[in-house]
Amino acid sequence: MSGYNSISDHELIAQLKRGNRDAFTEIYDRYFWQLHAHAYKWMRNREETRDIIHELFLTLWEKRETLSFEHGLLSYLSAAVRNRIFNLLAHKRIESKYLSSLDDFINEGICITDHLIREKQLTSLIENEISGMPAKMREVFELSRKENLSHKEIAEQLDISELTVRKHVQHALKILRFKLGFYLLMTVLTAF
């Protein structure tokens, strides 16, 4: 792969679009730390920063044939990182507002029994959704969330890579967000 570190971004893009893994690896090696430094300035969280960058490169590989790099590779990657950061920050703001409004709602004298019933229903719904996940994803997710093991500890215990652990956890969370989103919306709407 030594020949790839001297070729231009334009040629790397052409090789990437043809599915050349060595070209992809060179792009990753060439721009990972620059993108990481840029993202970390906003996120101030190493794990979230790494997740953003890894998801970007995963998307780069998966959509390599359809992506447009008309302003150059670095411009594309920088804009993609910035957009992912803004989306994540916006999501966090919404989540924070929701939790704050939920706290206010609870503090205004909501019946504890109703809260406990809804909590039990939500717990049951979450457990049901977790039990329906593929076996390996469920195992990884439960080790992460119920046993509070780090991605590294899970990877060592199951003899898989940390990236695989991270992907299983991310996919499990996406499934839960999707499945539980409607329930949570209905719960909030019926509470008022």
Q: pTM for the full model?
A: 0.50
In terms of Cβ atoms closer than 10 Å to its own Cβ (0-12, 13-18, 19+), residue 69 is middle
Q: What is the pLDDT of residues 120-141, one digit of tens each?
A: 877 888 888 888 889 999 999 8
DSSP state of 6: G
Q: What is the pLDDT of residues 20-46, one digit of tens each?
A: 999 999 999 999 999 999 999 988 889
> How far from 15 is each of 2, 9, 124, 170, CA to CA, in Å?
15, 10, 49, 29
Q: What is the pLDDT of residues 132-184, one digit of tens each?
A: 889 999 999 889 888 889 999 999 999 999 999 999 988 888 887 777 776 66
> How far from 20 is each of 23, 25, 54, 62, 74, CA to CA, in Å?
5, 9, 18, 12, 18
* Calpha distance 155→150 (Å, rounded): 9
Q: Which domains does the chain have, with CATH numbers?
A: 2-87 (1.10.1740.10), 110-191 (1.10.10.10)
In which element (H, E) is residue 27 found? helix 21-43
* Helices 135-145 and 151-158: angle between axes, nearest 10 degrees: 140
Cβ atoms 56, 35 nearer than 8 A: yes
Cβ atoms 164, 155 nearer than 8 A: yes
